[in-house]
């Protein structure tokens, strides 16, 4: 059996789904999605999700926590980065405000992807992203491990955004929404004792 590991750029994936205006697709089981994306003869050995909590946005933060708990219940390894505040000023009117910038998510993903290649965790590593900032790590993994297959899976409607990754990856495709529909999490996720540990937010309820 060939070993498949999936690495998910959480924000890149989230914003692609958000732009579809189909919020129920945000409640996707990434481990199940990896199984659906696996080729015949492949087994999923790891699914790793990289993101950060927007703690100042109450509703978004609450939904994200529910989703992370759900992912962990299904065996997804979660790595959370952080946001950094930045003071901004308008040079025309001199108004000031605080902006927030996500930091370190792509660095965490790149380092874990490279480390797992070095540790021989997978035969095929799949990156779910269209972020060209990850081009250098794809190049490095391919150079150091030429027998490993590196696949880039662009989120829905992000095919053109990932064209630079397509140039360096072993293979490249765009994930279809039909795969996401088949990989949705149940409304309530329970532990071995039947206790609820995560519940689908109402705003993610399917339209059917």
Domain edges within the chain: 2-200
pLDDT value of residue 2: 97
User: How far is Cα of residue 207 from the mean position of the Cα atoms in its chain?
Assistant: 23
pLDDT value of residue 117: 98
For the domain made up of 2-200, give the CATH fold.
Rossmann fold (3.40.50)
Asked whether 86 and 101 are in contact (CB, 8 A), the reply is yes
Cβ neighbours around 171 below 10 Å, total:
12
pLDDT value of residue 75: 97
Quickly state the pLDDT bin for 69 (edges 50, 70, 90): very high
Quickly state the pLDDT bin for 136 (edges 50, 70, 90): very high
b vs e for 4-35, b when ≥16 Cβ sit within 10 Å of the residue's Cβ?
bbbbbbbbbbbebbeeeebbbbbbbbbbbbbb
pLDDT in tens, 137-178: 999 999 999 999 999 999 999 999 999 999 999 999 999 999
pLDDT in tens, 181-206: 999 999 999 988 999 999 999 999 99
pLDDT in tens, 72-119: 999 999 999 876 767 777 777 877 766 677 778 999 999 999 999 999
pTM above 0.85, yes or no: yes
pLDDT value of residue 113: 98
Q: Report the residue count for the chain.
A: 208
Compute φ and ψ for 59, nearest 5 degrees: -65, -45
The residue with greater pLDDT, 83 or 34, is 34
**145 class by beta-carbon count within 10 Å (0-12 exposed, 13-18 middle, 19+ buried):** middle
pLDDT value of residue 208: 84
């Amino acid at each position: 059996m060939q070993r498949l590991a999936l690495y998910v750029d959480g924000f890149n994936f989230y914003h692609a789904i958000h732009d579809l205006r189909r919020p129920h697709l945000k409640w996707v089981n990434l481990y199940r999605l990896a199984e659906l994306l696996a080729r015949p003869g492949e087994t999923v050995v790891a699914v790793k999700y990289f993101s950060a909590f927007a703690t100042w946005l109450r509703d978004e933060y609450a939904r994200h926590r529910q989703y992370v708990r759900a992912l962990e219940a299904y065996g997804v390894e979660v790595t959370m980065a952080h946001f950094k505040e930045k003071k901004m000023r308008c040079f025309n009117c001199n108004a000031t405000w605080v902006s927030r910038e996500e930091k370190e998510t792509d660095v965490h993903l790149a380092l874990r992807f490279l480390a797992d290649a070095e540790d021989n965790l997978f035969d095929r590593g799949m990156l779910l992203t269209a972020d060209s900032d990850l081009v250098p790590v794809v190049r490095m993994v391919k150079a150091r491990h030429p027998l490993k297959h590196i696949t880039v899976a662009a989120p829905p409607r992000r095919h053109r955004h990932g064209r630079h990754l397509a140039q360096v990856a072993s293979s490249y495709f765009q994930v279809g929404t039909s795969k996401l529909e088949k990989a949705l999490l149940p409304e309530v996720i329970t532990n071995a004792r039947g206790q609820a540990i995560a519940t689908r937010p109402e705003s993610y309820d399917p339209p059917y």
